[in-house]
Amino acid sequence: MTNSPAAQFEALQARGAAFLGTELAIMGGAMSWVSERNLVAAISNAGGFGVIACGSMPPAMLEAEIAATQALTNKPFGVNLITMHPQLDDLVQVCLRAKVSHVVLAGGIPPGPAVRAVKDGGAKLVAFAPALVLAKRFVKSGVDALVIEGSEAGGHIGPVSLTVLAQEILPYMRDVPVFVAGGLGRGEAILSYLEMGAAGAQLGTRFAASTESIAHANFKNAFVRANARDALPSLQLDERFPVIPVRGLVNEGTKRFMVHQAETLKKFQNGELDKTQAQLAIEHFWAGALRRAVVEGDVENGSVMAGQSVGMVSAIQPVAEILAELKAQAVAALAAREQTRSHAEKAA
């Protein structure tokens, strides 16, 4: 007798759930200005795994955010630290002192001292792997789990889709749990990656538009209105002035950014700006733009970072409802498969 669809789903996500210490092997993506105490605690309380986005926070601010999150949940949650942060070592110590169970190092290759500090401090270490060769290197250095994030994700993105990354990495990376991310909005998709060997999934966009998210109502409503094709990466006009690709909803700000690049390029060519000044002028365009959108609600001129799964955001829902829906979709897909198999056996 086969296991029930619900039991099959539990078995598929068991490794990821055990690693996170949760009911569901679903992590919240770390989104600046969004992944703070309220959303993180809501995800963890609902059976998922919330992750604080430290971003550019100084140590004292992170310490306060962790304490505030711990006041809202007694469930496990993680902290996402950017490897380029000038006070990375201090931030790691803040996490360890607060007994944070999992530290996620993002935005670059995890530095050796930070890896050793996390491991020696007794926390579990998670890193983002953009390619198989780096995944193997990270595991060798002591990383306990990996996230592979496709270009469908919102915010800063790499060039490769999750579909391709999963095929490149999952069959060859069995030593540690691997969580998939980028463009995920339904349980059936999560199920397909679990069956490929993923331990769990990470979602950001759906949680950004949740009831518990502190994002401005304008920001959430923009997600509800948007289609997948509205979430596009930022473009660069000239390869001499690289633009780090960021996926977000096309608005007046993204259109003006193209004009700004063209004007800056003209000034460079006319000798009004040197190369460094021109690069800084391009980079500074988006300074504070994410805060303008998330906190102030200026979704026309701010940076409305969103993944392509934004097309699957049809309503502003409580986090618990989103997680229950994802699980139900995965279980229903397994049940439908059982039914098809049963019909086929009867027909034979």
pLDDT tens-digit series, residues 79-114: 999 999 999 999 999 999 999 999 999 999 999 999
pLDDT digits (tens, 9 = 90+) for 35-48: 999 999 999 999 99
Query: Under a CB-based contact definition with an 8 Å cutoff, are residues 9 and 191 in contact?
Result: yes
Count up the domains in the chain and report the number: 2
Does one domain contain both 253 and 166? no
Establish if 88 belongs to a structural domain: yes
pLDDT at 1 over 50: no
Look at residue 208 and tell me if it is in a domain: no
Beta strands per DSSP E along the chain: 26-28, 50-53, 77-82, 102-106, 124-128, 145-149, 155-156, 178-181, 200-203, 231-233, 246-249
Residues 304 and 331 in one domain: no
Please tell me whether residues 266 and 248 are part of one structural domain: yes
**Tell me: the pLDDT tens digits for 212-261?**
999 999 999 999 999 999 999 999 999 999 998 999 999 999 999 999 99
**297 plus 324 within the same structural domain:** no
Mean pLDDT confidence for 105-131? 96
Task: Quote the radius of gyration of the chain (alpha carbons, Å).
Answer: 21
CA dihedral for 278, 283, 284, 286, sign (positive or negative)? positive
Domain shared by 293 and 338, yes or no: no
**CATH at 67:** 3.20.20.70
Is residue 175 a part of any domain in this protein?
Answer: yes
Residue 105 corresponds to which tokens in the numbers above?
């190092």
| 24 and 163 share one domain | yes
Q: What angle do CA 145, 32, 287 make, to 5 degrees?
A: 130
Residues 85 and 182 in one domain: yes
Specify if 166 maps to a domain: yes
Q: Which domain holds residue 292?
A: 227-308
Distance CA 208, CA 151 (A): 18
Nearest Cα to Cα of residue 232 among 246, 220, 218: 246
Statement to judge: residues 11 and 93 lie in one domain: yes
Q: Is residue 213 part of a domain?
A: no
Burial class (CB in 10 A: 0-12, 13-18, 19+), 76: middle
Q: Could you give the C-alpha distances from 53 to 108, 183, 200, 345, in angstroms and in order?
A: 15, 19, 19, 50
Q: Binning pLDDT at 50, 70 and 90, where does residue 131 land? A: very high
Instruction: Confirm whether 180 is domain-assigned.
Output: yes
The per-residue pLDDT for range 266-294, each reduced to its tens digit, is: 999 999 999 999 999 999 999 899 999 99
Instruction: Answer yes or no: do 295 and 328 share one domain.
Output: no
Pair 87, 33 in one domain? yes
Residue 222 domain-assigned (yes or no)? no
Grouping H, G, I as helix, E, B as strand and the rest as coil, residue 77 is strand
CA distance linking residue 22 with residue 39, whole number of Å:
16
Alpha-carbon gap, residue 262 to 189, rounded angstroms: 40
Instruction: Let me know whether 325 and 303 are in one domain.
Output: no
Q: Looking at the structure, do residues 329 and 278 belong to the same domain, yes or no?
A: no
Q: Is 169 exposed, middle or buried (0-12, 13-18, 19+ CB in 10 A)?
A: buried
* 215 occurs within a structural domain: no
